Protein backbone atom coordinates (compact mmCIF):
# COMPACT_ATOMS: atom_id res chain seq x y z
CA UNK A 1 0.00 0.00 0.00
CA UNK A 2 2.24 2.68 -1.37
CA UNK A 3 1.48 6.42 -1.42
CA UNK A 4 1.01 7.91 -4.89
CA UNK A 5 1.72 11.44 -3.60
CA UNK A 6 4.61 12.59 -1.42
CA UNK A 7 4.29 14.93 1.56
CA UNK A 8 5.64 17.75 -0.63
CA UNK A 9 3.13 17.05 -3.41
CA UNK A 10 0.28 16.94 -0.88
CA UNK A 11 1.41 20.28 0.60
CA UNK A 12 1.42 21.87 -2.87
CA UNK A 13 -2.00 20.40 -3.68
CA UNK A 14 -3.52 21.65 -0.40
CA UNK A 15 -2.16 25.15 -1.10
CA UNK A 16 -3.78 25.00 -4.54
CA UNK A 17 -7.24 23.74 -3.53
CA UNK A 18 -7.46 25.24 0.00
CA UNK A 19 -5.37 28.42 -0.10
CA UNK A 20 -7.35 29.86 2.83
CA UNK A 21 -5.70 27.42 5.27
CA UNK A 22 -2.30 26.81 3.65
CA UNK A 23 -0.53 28.61 6.51
CA UNK A 24 -2.23 26.44 9.18
CA UNK A 25 -1.19 22.90 8.25
CA UNK A 26 2.04 21.05 7.50
CA UNK A 27 2.09 17.59 5.94
CA UNK A 28 5.02 16.03 7.76
CA UNK A 29 4.88 12.51 6.31
CA UNK A 30 2.74 10.13 4.26
CA UNK A 31 3.44 6.50 3.43
CA UNK A 32 0.16 5.20 2.03
CA UNK A 33 -1.22 4.03 5.38
CA UNK A 34 0.10 6.46 7.99
CA UNK A 35 0.09 10.24 7.80
CA UNK A 36 1.51 12.79 10.22
CA UNK A 37 0.26 16.39 10.08
CA UNK A 38 0.82 19.50 12.15
CA UNK A 39 -1.52 22.35 13.03
CA UNK A 40 0.63 25.44 13.53
CA UNK A 41 -1.32 26.79 16.49
CA UNK A 42 -1.84 30.55 16.37
CA UNK A 43 -3.99 33.01 18.31
CA UNK A 44 -6.93 32.41 15.93
CA UNK A 45 -7.04 28.73 16.98
CA UNK A 46 -7.52 29.47 20.68
CA UNK A 47 -10.66 29.67 22.78
CA UNK A 48 -11.23 31.24 26.18
CA UNK A 49 -9.11 29.52 28.78
CA UNK A 50 -6.02 29.52 26.55
CA UNK A 51 -6.62 26.18 24.88
CA UNK A 52 -7.02 25.13 21.26
CA UNK A 53 -10.64 25.22 20.14
CA UNK A 54 -12.61 22.12 19.22
CA UNK A 55 -13.24 23.38 15.66
CA UNK A 56 -9.47 23.78 15.17
CA UNK A 57 -8.87 20.21 16.34
CA UNK A 58 -11.68 18.99 14.08
CA UNK A 59 -10.07 20.81 11.15
CA UNK A 60 -6.76 19.06 11.81
CA UNK A 61 -8.46 15.66 11.97
CA UNK A 62 -10.48 16.37 8.82
CA UNK A 63 -7.53 17.60 6.76
CA UNK A 64 -5.40 14.69 8.00
CA UNK A 65 -7.98 12.13 6.84
CA UNK A 66 -8.28 13.97 3.50
CA UNK A 67 -4.49 13.85 3.04
CA UNK A 68 -4.29 10.17 4.06
CA UNK A 69 -6.96 9.32 1.48
CA UNK A 70 -5.49 11.43 -1.33
CA UNK A 71 -2.01 10.09 -0.66
CA UNK A 72 -3.37 6.75 -1.91
CA UNK A 73 -5.87 7.76 -4.62
CA UNK A 74 -4.19 10.85 -6.06
CA UNK A 75 -5.42 14.40 -6.58
CA UNK A 76 -9.20 14.09 -6.20
CA UNK A 77 -10.20 17.51 -4.83
CA UNK A 78 -13.89 16.56 -4.58
CA UNK A 79 -13.28 13.78 -2.06
CA UNK A 80 -15.52 14.87 0.85
CA UNK A 81 -16.19 14.10 4.50
CA UNK A 82 -19.27 11.95 5.01
CA UNK A 83 -18.91 10.98 8.65
CA UNK A 84 -17.03 11.88 11.80
CA UNK A 85 -16.94 10.80 15.40
CA UNK A 86 -14.64 12.81 17.65
CA UNK A 87 -13.70 12.63 21.31
CA UNK A 88 -11.94 15.48 23.10
CA UNK A 89 -9.99 13.79 25.89
CA UNK A 90 -7.77 16.39 27.55
CA UNK A 91 -6.78 20.03 27.28
CA UNK A 92 -4.01 20.66 24.73
CA UNK A 93 -0.83 22.18 26.13
CA UNK A 94 -0.77 25.97 25.75
CA UNK A 95 1.61 27.33 23.15
CA UNK A 96 2.27 23.97 21.46
CA UNK A 97 1.44 22.86 17.95
CA UNK A 98 -0.91 19.92 17.53
CA UNK A 99 0.27 16.77 15.77
CA UNK A 100 -2.17 14.34 14.12
CA UNK A 101 -1.22 10.71 13.58
CA UNK A 102 -3.61 9.27 11.03
CA UNK A 103 -4.04 5.65 10.00
CA UNK A 104 -5.96 4.84 6.85
CA UNK A 105 -7.96 1.82 8.04
CA UNK A 106 -9.87 1.04 4.83
CA UNK A 107 -9.78 2.27 1.29
CA UNK A 108 -12.53 1.12 -1.02
CA UNK A 109 -13.83 2.30 -4.39
CA UNK A 110 -16.21 4.85 -2.91
CA UNK A 111 -15.24 5.30 0.77
CA UNK A 112 -12.19 5.60 2.97
CA UNK A 113 -12.08 5.27 6.75
CA UNK A 114 -9.34 6.79 8.91
CA UNK A 115 -8.49 6.89 12.60
CA UNK A 116 -6.79 10.02 13.92
CA UNK A 117 -5.02 10.60 17.23
CA UNK A 118 -4.12 14.22 18.01
CA UNK A 119 -1.33 15.14 20.43
CA UNK A 120 0.15 18.33 21.80
CA UNK A 121 3.66 18.47 20.41
CA UNK A 122 6.02 16.55 22.70
CA UNK A 123 3.26 14.80 24.67
CA UNK A 124 2.58 11.05 24.72
CA UNK A 125 -1.08 11.40 25.77
CA UNK A 126 -3.60 12.16 23.00
CA UNK A 127 -5.78 15.24 23.40
CA UNK A 128 -8.39 14.05 20.88
CA UNK A 129 -9.38 11.05 18.80
CA UNK A 130 -11.44 10.99 15.63
CA UNK A 131 -12.77 8.48 13.11
CA UNK A 132 -13.42 10.02 9.71
CA UNK A 133 -15.15 8.60 6.64
CA UNK A 134 -14.62 10.15 3.23
CA UNK A 135 -16.59 9.68 0.03
CA UNK A 136 -14.45 9.26 -3.08
CA UNK A 137 -15.90 10.61 -6.35
CA UNK A 138 -16.57 8.07 -9.10
CA UNK A 139 -13.94 7.81 -11.82
User: Is the residue at 68 inside a domain?
Assistant: yes
**Chain segment 101-118, per-residue pLDDT in tens:** 999 999 999 999 999 999
User: Is the residue at 1 inside a domain?
Assistant: no
pTM: 0.95
**Chain segment 61-80, per-residue pLDDT in tens:** 999 999 999 999 999 999 99
3-state secondary structure the chain: CCCCCCHHHHHHHHHHHCHHHCCCEEEEEECCCEEEEEECCCHHHEECCCEECHHHHHHHHHHHHHHHHHHHHCCCCCCEEEEEEEEECCCCCCCCCEEEEEEEEEECCCEEEEEEEEEECCCCCEEEEEEEEEECCCC
Give the number of domains in the chain. Answer: 1
Give the range of the structural domain holding residue 56, as residue numbers without chain letter. Answer: 7-135
For residue 64, the domain's CATH number is 3.10.129.10
Does the pLDDT value for residue 126 go beyond 80?
yes
pLDDT class for 8, splitting at 50, 70, 90? very high
User: Is the residue at 2 inside a domain?
Assistant: no
Amino acid sequence: MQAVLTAEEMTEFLAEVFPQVKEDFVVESVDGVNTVMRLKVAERHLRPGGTVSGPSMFSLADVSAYVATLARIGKEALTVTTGCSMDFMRKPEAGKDLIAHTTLLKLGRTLSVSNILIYSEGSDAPVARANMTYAIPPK
